[in-house]
Amino acid sequence: MSAPRVTTAPKVVAVTESSPAARSGLRSGDELLSLNGRSPRDVIEYSLLADEPELDLVVRRRGLPEPVALSVRKQPGEPLGIEVSSAVFDRVRTCDNHCEFCFIHQLPKGMRRSLSMKDDDYRLSFLYGNFTTLTRFTEMDLERVLTERLSPLFVSIHATDPDRRADLLRNRRGATSLRWLGALLEGGIEVHGQVVVCPGRNDGQVLEDTLAGVLDRYPTLATVACVPLGVSRFSHEEAMRPHTRDEAAAVCNTVMAWQDTFLSAIGRRMVFAADEYYLMAERPFPQTHTYEGFPQHENGLGMARAFEAAFGGDEHAALGVRPGFFAAVDGAPASGYRAPRAPGGVHSWHRGAPVAILTGEYGARVLAPLVASLPRRDVRLVPVVNHYFGGNIGVSGLLTGTDLIEALRHQPEGHRYLLPDSCLSEGRFLDDLTVADLPRPVEVVPTDGLSLRRALERMDALPPESGGAPSTEGPIPERVPVTLGAPR
């Protein structure tokens, strides 16, 4: 079977020094027209081709009228040693659903174009953990996934009733596309599911029926996440609204009841509610062991408990499945959540300066008891209200430079400000501002409990008589250097 026509050849953006690619003469800026006579359609196919010990490359090089032929000889399994410009070289399969709760439809105008790209591509699900509805999945896709063992995948379920699901997706194929979920599971592919719960649409009895449908038809799913919809001030969907406290509590109750059912029927809990539900319902988070290894940690399931464990010094706190394996695919670029968060750099602060942790409103509620447990009394939280998106958006990952600027304007100079890296992608906030635009210097810290703990431990304790406040008399305190936000 021949590969589909490639519309864009993969472009080399970096070549590792002394690698097989460097020895062969491959350069940054070269376009890979073929590897051993084949033109890869995506980085998955490219990685399989590049794994061969003997490679004949045809590249297009800027300034030359004809393609250049290169030969590579390397040890079996040795990386080629390049990074390419994108994960998909043909067309990204875009989403043709029109979900009422889609957050992309709730973005303000003027944001960079890449943020408005809706994908429904199983390849990006495999590489980066993006959720796909499978409404554009085909028989050929299934054959490839099963043959190449592209696992794990991440599937948006929302409802198992066909008519309800088609209504939620506003796509008639939503009624039938879950057949692919069954086929994937039958083929032994690990799949994690998600239900975006919308008040009055797929909560209550519909959620009960959905979880019953999962147990009946998809009992080999790895996990199912129940997550709340985000409603920004730019939403035009009248039926979409935030959960009330009682509705959030009802979701927690439903999930906990079904955890018992799944545990009894298949020996594991299967379904988990996002941390936001417990915050909205003003309930304590479940115990750490009930998350069964935090399999959807990055989707906000058990993130608070994992953060707490790591903050307490547990360096081996399980953080669950790491969706995608792009780091192990030679050449695959970091993207989205897995892009480098912030550039490196050095920032200095005065020894003994009070510390403020910048965070979202939800993050502040998670961090409050942890900060209260610290021996130092001059560490405080600065909850940043998300005016940019408005609505019920309170997570730290959606903080923007605009709101941080407003919050920091009211904070004193000379203090040490810590900022979670989850709100940055390649050094930029969602509104395209950078940390350089902020009115106070900030130290970017990886968004996990152990990193925050280590950042706080770099402070020297103030003398007890100081009462935790910096002295306004005497010599200027010594300045202490700190490395800023290294990429993950």
Q: What is the pLDDT of residues 112-162, one digit of tens each?
A: 666 667 789 999 999 888 999 999 999 999 999 999 999 999 999 999 999
Closest CA to 310 of 423, 445, 459, 454: 454
> What would the mean pLDDT of 70-77 be, rounded to a whole number?
92
Whether residue 465 is predicted with pLDDT greater than 70 in this model: the reply is no
Q: How far is CA 124 from CA 91, 128, 169, 416, in A?
A: 12, 5, 20, 38
What is the C-alpha separation between 466 and 29, in angstroms, rounded? 58
What is the C-alpha separation between 103 and 441, in angstroms, rounded? 31
> What would the mean pLDDT of 56-74 be, rounded to a whole number?
95
The amino acid at 136: R
Q: Cα dihedral angle (94, 99, 100, 106), rounded to 10 degrees?
A: -20
Q: How far is CA 54 from CA 49, 75, 276, in A?
A: 10, 9, 51
Of residues 365 and 478, more confidence is placed in: 365
Q: How confident is the model at residue 336 (pLDDT cuts 50, 70, 90)?
A: low
Query: What pLDDT shows up at residue 305?
Result: 94
Q: For residue 34, which phi and psi values (nearest 5 degrees)?
A: -160, 155
Percent of the chain with pLDDT over 70: 84
The amino acid at 399: L
Q: What angle do CA 209, 239, 280 make, to 5 degrees?
A: 70
The model's pTM: 0.86
Contact 404, 396 (CB under 8 A): no
Provide long-range contacts, Cβ within 8 A and 24+ apart, for 237-244.
237/100, 237/101, 237/105, 239/100, 239/198, 239/200, 239/201, 240/100, 240/101, 240/198, 241/199, 242/199, 242/391, 242/392, 243/197, 243/199, 243/277, 243/280, 244/199
Mind listing the domains of the chain with CATH numbers?
Answer: 12-84 (2.30.42.10), 104-328 (3.20.20), 339-484 (3.40.50)
Query: What pLDDT shows up at residue 376?
Result: 86
Q: How confident is the model at residue 479 (pLDDT cuts 50, 70, 90)?
A: very low
Contact 285, 275 (CB under 8 A): yes
> What would the mean pLDDT of 60-67 be, rounded to a whole number?
94
> What would the mean pLDDT of 42-47 be, rounded to a whole number?
91
Whether residue 86 is predicted with pLDDT greater than 90 in this model: the reply is no
What is the C-alpha separation between 311 and 328, in angstroms, rounded? 28
Query: What pLDDT shows up at residue 427?
Result: 87
Instruction: Kindly report the average pLDDT of the chain as a whole number.
Output: 86
DSSP letter string, 340-354: --S--EEEEEETT--
Q: How confident is the model at residue 482 (pLDDT cuts 50, 70, 90)?
A: very low
Query: What pLDDT shows up at residue 481?
Result: 34
What is the C-alpha separation between 201 and 229, in angstroms, rounded? 11
Whether residue 361 is predicted with pLDDT greater than 90 in this model: the reply is yes
Contact 214, 224 (CB under 8 A): yes
pLDDT digits (tens, 9 = 90+) for 432-443: 999 999 999 999
